[in-house]
Amino acid sequence: MRTIAVDAMGGENAPKAIVQAVLQAKAELTDTKFILFGDQKKIRKLVGSDQDRIEIVATSEIINDEDEPVKAIRTKKDSSLVVAAQFVKQGKADALLSLGNTGSILACGIFIIGRIKGIARPGFMPTLPVKNSDDGFNMIDVGANAKSKPEYLLTWAKMASYYAEKVRGVKNPRVALLNNGSESDKGDDLHQSAYQLLLDSDLNFVGNIEGNELLEGKADVVATDGFTGNAVLKNIEGTSSVLIHLLKDKLLNSGFMVKIGALLIKKALKGLVSKFDVDKYGGAVLLGVDAPVVKTHGRSDQRAVYFTIKQIDKILKENIIGEFRSEFAVKN
């Protein structure tokens, strides 16, 4: 039996969307148990009388997006997130899911659950969409680390490649390095050294990738330093959100005929927007800590949370953490 600790209080649609997603997933994943952390009364009302593979742990505090991440996990000790992380640390649960404050989730993973031995720095990894396929790609690190070293990038690439293969089913994942040009000598010292490490590794390294090529589907895994990865990830979100906003604005304010046209294309447009919803592929995973720690977007609805639960269940089923433990304990 696998057990997932669910912070039921994070995100805009908490706890309702989260609890409903848990109930939906539970019906399907018959070998998985769920522990929900948060406002017991509210959660119980949503869960109803169901007590099969579901447990509620009452907590009295909530970490908000406005909270300073590290300070919050130190001061809000009875928050749904911190107590859920403690359950994982104590072995009472196998994985952590939250829709809350990203920085606090990362801090819970690193400081409460802790690193896998042999992994110097965990990396934060979303799955992002690509142009002409539904496969997407993994980018790591997107901001768990402001400061990166070449060997971190190698470790991140190894973990992400393994993840892409086992969880997303990509055969022999193509690994690329985000750099400022395609040639092998591109980049600053960090990226030049990372290039060499990746080249000398047994990964399927396909070379450098540039910022404009990320969504083209040229790689299954993109390794990047956490600073650049953070800027680029946020920029993908920002650019697509501004473009979609401008498109909607244009369609609504360009006269009657355009409005009619907008009605006719509405459904097609919706598909486009969902393609660029970076949460479609489940949550972002903090790889390198001693349990799956998964953050999904605060805006997530029941469906998005449901997919994230399935993703976590797959990570547990494939024993990704166990593999990392033996891989990095031996080689590092």
Rounded-to-integer distance, Cα 69 and Cα 323, Å: 29
Closest CA to 9 of 308, 305, 307: 305
Burial category of 79 from C-beta neighbours within 10 Å (exposed 0-12, middle 13-18, buried 19 and up): buried
Beta bridge partners of 3: 33
Work out how close the CB of 216 gets to a second copy at its nearest, in angstroms, rounded to a whole number: 7
Structural tokens at position 109:
């993973």
**Contacting residues toward a second copy, per CB under 8 A:** 68, 131, 143, 146-147, 178, 180, 183, 186-189, 191, 210-216, 224, 226-228, 230-247, 250-251, 254, 257-258, 260-265, 267-269, 271-272, 275-276
Work out how close the CB of 104 gets to a second copy at its nearest, in angstroms, rounded to a whole number: 13
Structural tokens at position 147:
């400061």
Closest to a second copy by CB, 117 vs 234, is 234
Closest to a second copy by CB, 117 vs 250, is 250
Work out how close the CB of 169 gets to a second copy at its nearest, in angstroms, rounded to a whole number: 23
Work out how close the CB of 229 gets to a second copy at its nearest, in angstroms, rounded to a whole number: 9
Closest to a second copy by CB, 226 vs 292, is 226
Rounded-to-integer distance, Cα 254 and Cα 252, Å: 6
Closest to a second copy by CB, 69 vs 173, is 69
Q: Among all chains, which residue has been given the structure tokens 């801090």?
A: 107
Work out how close the CB of 263 gets to a second copy at its nearest, in angstroms, rounded to a whole number: 7
Q: What are phi and psi of 93, to 5 degrees?
A: -145, 160
Closest to a second copy by CB, 272 vs 329, is 272
Closest CA to 285 of 252, 321, 249, 261: 321
Rounded-to-integer distance, Cα 41 and Cα 315, Å: 31
Closest to a second copy by CB, 53 vs 280, is 280
Work out how close the CB of 6 gets to a second copy at its nearest, in angstroms, rounded to a whole number: 27
